[in-house]
Structure 1
Amino acid sequence: MVLPWALRALKLLLWLTARAPVCDHPRAAPITDAILQQLSGKWFVIAGVLQNPEAHQMLKEVKATFFYLVPNLKEDTILVRDYETIGDQCIYNVSSRRIQRQEGTLSRTLQDREQFVSLWLTKDPETFMLLFLPDDDGQNRGLAFYARKPEVTKEQLREFHEALTCVGLQHEEILYTDGKKDLCGPLEKQQEEERKKENTES
């Protein structure tokens, strides 16, 4: 019996082989403790191409967004503390992702369906990408780009553009965020101070 994640990984491999030109771009690799420690901490969403209509619309409405990744190495999960500036307000959300170490994927349940993303490490440890795996119909693909800082260099952005080309996504569909429009700074500062206080008291 083929496990669902194995079937999805096989479909992704076949799709990449059929669609992608020969070029140098990241590939999913097993997720190790060292990689999880590298991903730990604060990240900014820089840009993305999301073919899922709902996800596309959500990213389109986001002016700026950043998040914290908190890996749990024993349970193979990652806690995500997400700050999004939408309109004139800051939206805070906490969620969790399951880690499939050997497959190099992360997953969560959305609307009773398991959504998988493939972790792509880049040449620069200050950035990484997530490839949203296509559904059973080969639709709703996507690629998102993240960085340690709200602004990236031309070289960092070029690697994202090259990866888009390799997976057959259109540059014209890229949605960018703008860190200068962030309104979540005060909430982030307040929560960080509360965490420090709790750690000191304990």
Structure 2
Amino acid sequence: MLPVLTLLLGLPLALASPTCAPLIPVTFDNATVPGLLGHWVYIAGASRYPPHLEELKALKHAAFSFSPGSHEDELNVTETMRLNETCVVRNTSKVLVFRHNSTLVHVDDQVFATANLIQSDKDLLILRHLNDDIPSLSLSARTPNVSKEQLEEFRSHLHCLGFTEEDIYFTSEKDACPLPEEKKDEGDAE
């Protein structure tokens, strides 16, 4: 009787909390790195790391693209983002790919940010930012729209890291800045 009672009392608890699968980094190979090339849209993020948290609060929209760098494990980055009311375009940073430990290092003017790319849909970029064991996770996608299932996957990862819905900062497509090539096209037409 006691095992049945224990099972019945524990069942609602087990059903209420999702199982937390470990965040498994992608193993970088010759197909993975080229798969990162191209346009991405930053969708959402959550962090307990104070510098990232301040940036998340100010970030209204961001889009970025990766292009081949000077060697196979280096990607050039072009970023277009709206921080509060200001549009910023940067094309001076790089991402270094470290295959031996499956990490990405974003290098921007002597500032380094390290992250793991988490296994997921090939059109998603879920990054676990590595900052002294302080949890931070971000979601980017090939398009500004993600499916309900993709968003739920991200939210599940956040929940397992101890984040609540109030901790998530979303960007909005309505706050997008013109991309550099759009400005060029407009100027050419005039």
Regarding TM over 0.5, the answer is: yes
SS at the partner of 2:27? coil
Quote the Cα distance in structure 1 between the aligned partners of 2:129 and 2:163: 12
Preserved CA contact (<8 Å) 1:84 1:184? no
Question: What does residue 143 of structure 1 align with?
Answer: 137
Question: What is the RMSD of the two structures over their aligned residues, measured on CA atoms?
Answer: 2.6
| TM-score, structure 1 normalization | 0.73
2:115 — aligned with what? 117
- 2:101 aligns with 103
2:150 counterpart of 1:156: yes
Relative distance call for 1:110 and 1:69 in structure 2 (3 A) is: closer
1:176 equivalent to 2:170? Answer: yes
Q: CA deviation at 1:176?
A: 0.3
Cα displacement (A) at 1:28? 0.6
SS in 1 for 2:122: coil
Q: 1:35 to 1:27 in 2, by over 3 A?
A: same
**What is the TM-score of this pair, normalised by structure 2?**
0.77
Do residues 188 (structure 1) and 181 (structure 2) align?
yes
Match of 1:130 in 2: 127
Q: How many residues align?
A: 169
Instruction: State the alpha-carbon separation in 1 of the partners of residues 25 and 175 from structure 2.
Output: 32
Distance 2:109 2:81 in 1: 21
Residues of 2 paired with 1:86 and 1:188: CA distance? 20
In structure 2, the partner of 1:85 is 82
Residues of 2 paired with 1:105 and 1:147: CA distance? 19
Tell me the SS of whatever aligns to 2:97.
strand
Tell me the amino acid that sits aligned with residue 87 of structure 1: N
| Cα displacement string for residues 27-52 of structure 1 (whole angstroms, at most 9, x for unaligned residues) | 11321221112111000000000222
**1:114 Cα shift?**
4.4
Q: Which of residues 36, 61, 74 is equivalent to 1:64?
A: 61
Q: What does residue 40 of structure 1 align with?
A: 37
Unaligned runs of 5+ in 2: 1-17
